[in-house]
Amino acid sequence: MLRELRIENLLLIEKAELRLGPGLNVLTGETGAGKTVLAYSLDLLMGGKARKGIVRPGAPEAWVEGVFDLPPEWNQDDELSELLDRIPAGSDEIVLGRRVSEGGRTSAFVGGRSASAADLQMLGSRLLAFYGQHEHRRLTIGSSQLAMVDSAAGLEQQERLVSYEAVWSRHRELSRRLAEIRGRETARERDLDLLRFELDEIESARLVDGEKDGLVEERDRLRHVEGLREAAAGAGGRLRGDEDADGAAGLLAGARDLIGGVSGVDPVLDELAARIESLALEAEDVGVELGRYLAGIEADPGRLAGLEERLEVIDRLERKHGGSIGRVLAHAESCRQEIDRLESGESEEAEIEAELETVRTRLGEEAGSLGKARRKAAEDLAASVTSDLAELAMDGAGLTIEVRPEPDGPGPHGAESVEFMLAPNPGVPSQPLRDTASGGELSRVMLALAASGTGDRRTLVFDEIDAGIGGTTAGTVGDRLRLVAEGRQVFAITHLPQVASRADNHFSIEKLTGDSGVVATVRSLDEDAVVAEIRRMMGAGEGDEAATLHARELVTANR
């Protein structure tokens, strides 16, 4: 429900604030007073395009703001979650705003925060349904017509639709997965060949994590074996000595013997003697170890070649698969898992095909049930609307609803589409509603549909619904508007007293000329003011007591 509508500096309106209520709200006023400005302000809130020259002369900008009840079900709508984050938690209202600068630039707002015109279109179209001579024609959209037929089919049809859409979603998902598997068939074989090759290459290498360091050490030793032998032999000779000269070990032994001759005389010299003894023993021991090292080291060209080959294999695999043996082994495990997954593709394809066949059968059954209910509902709805049109100044007009099978089979909303066909006059062939209905006829068809219970729970706005009618028909239109407004909100811009007298809330727009130019003002009318406005709409003056009495009786009779 639209709680409040605020307008500033929009065309003739300098400032206006309407506090609308549930039920039937009407706006009346003299021709040219600016009633269409109210309709245009709602169009702006629905994300409509701003026209040139709409800012009141002398004002820097125009502003429109609408305060709406926040539908509780929106909190479960994922499509709206980002926009609803702008609204304080626990709030029961949502505020849409639109600003238009003097230069024609527009800004949109949701909950006081910047938004886009597309955001307003998304939200506004869920809050308002606008029907008028030159406004939105949602009634002519095929998906909306289908929704109206489903609504006319009752609650069970909504349950059928939910069930069908769940099966359709599963069918679409399975079809997508099957197409993906089949589309990957060539790539699957190529991938398997590559994965198997890489796995065989790694497994045949029989890698051991950490082995490379030992292999590098051994290779470097074999590469320098002659130098190592020469160094060990030379060092050993200098420690052990030979026939021509004593080595370091012999010299240390001699030094030890010299000092040993005076052992026990001077503690300081005794300590030095002990150190010489230690050096002599260490030199002798190192000399023995060098001899063993020299005896154990020898050139092995075959072993060196084998090490070089092994390290080349390791280096090549590391370069291909991550830089270390650990990562090469991890890649091997990944290959095994991917091979298992790809090799199971054939069995997965068979499983999906079997499930898809089952789902396809169920989809046909669900679509058949949905379509049968639609055909019955379309027939009943068309008959009901045609009967109502005769009372809404469209005598002889007929509405038929064609239920047509979808050429490509079941889709997301069923296996058929619908088309509302209107014959506005007897003997005239029916044509699609979007091609044949004028704005006024379109509004009356919508009114007949809403009275049949097919309308949604949005605020319905009717502009020029009473164009070209009067007398008893005007009263009938007013009664229908009142009926449609039960339990919901309707806003009608009208020039007929028979319609205005049915209103739960009456607003009047009046054009005044002052020092600042022409200004349109909007006000809410109390009962006496309503009577006066009805009298004006009847073409009578303030002093016409008979017209005043008639106007009061008209208002009283319809309250």
Q: What pLDDT, in 10s, does the model give residues 16-28?
A: 899 999 999 999 8
pLDDT band, very low/low/confident/very high, at 103 (cuts 50, 70, 90): confident
pLDDT of residue 373 exceeding 80: yes
> Phi, psi (5° rounding) for residue 58?
90, -15
Average pLDDT over residues 349-367: 91
Residue 255 in domain: yes
**Helical H segments across 85-135, by residue range:** 117-127
| Count of beta carbons in the 10 Å neighbourhood of residue 234 | 11
| Pick from 62-71, 117-126, 177-186, 364-373: least confident | 177-186
pLDDT of residue 511 exceeding 90: no
- Polymer length in residues for the chain: 559
- Evaluate whether 148 touches 454 at the Cβ level (below 8 Å): yes
Cross-sheet strand order for the sheet of 517-524: 113-115, 106-110, 93-101, 61-69, 2-10, 13-19, 517-524, 505-514, 23-29, 489-493, 459-463, 128-131
pLDDT band, very low/low/confident/very high, at 516 (cuts 50, 70, 90): low
Report the mean per-residue pLDDT for the chain: 83
pLDDT of residue 135 exceeding 50: no
Average pLDDT over residues 43-67: 88
pLDDT of residue 368 exceeding 90: yes
Average pLDDT over residues 227-238: 78
pLDDT of residue 359 exceeding 90: yes
How many Å from the N-terminal Cα to the C-terminal Cα in the chain?
A: 21
Residue 304 in domain: yes
Residue 310 in domain: yes
Residue 532 in domain: no
Per mean pLDDT, which of 146-160, 334-348, 443-457, 462-476 is the most reliable? Answer: 146-160
CA nearest 454: which of 206, 213, 149? Answer: 149
Task: Report the pLDDT value the prediction gives residue 136, as an integer from 0 to 100.
Answer: 41
More confident residue, 295 or 459: 459
Residue 229 in domain: yes
pLDDT band, very low/low/confident/very high, at 243 (cuts 50, 70, 90): low
Kindly tell me the burial class for residue 518, based on how many C-beta atoms sit within 10 Å of its own C-beta (0-12, 13-18, 19 or more): middle
Average pLDDT over residues 193-198: 88
- Evaluate whether 95 touches 65 at the Cβ level (below 8 Å): yes
Tell me, rounded to whole angstroms, the distance of Cα 421 from its chain centroid: 35
* Assigned token pair, 80: 């709206």
Residue 318 in domain: yes
Q: For the chain, how many structural domains are there in total?
A: 1
| Pick from 3-12, 222-231, 272-281, 526-535: least confident | 222-231
Average pLDDT over residues 204-225: 81
Residue 281 in domain: yes
Give the residue numbers spanning the domain of 211: 204-341
Task: Report the pLDDT value the prediction gives residue 426, as an integer from 0 to 100.
Answer: 83
Per mean pLDDT, which of 183-192, 287-296, 488-497 is the most reliable? Answer: 488-497
| Count of beta carbons in the 10 Å neighbourhood of residue 196 | 12
Cross-sheet strand order for the sheet of 431-432: 398-405, 416-423, 431-432
> Phi, psi (5° rounding) for residue 98?
-145, 130
Task: Tell me the C-alpha distance between 94 and 89, whole Å.
Answer: 11
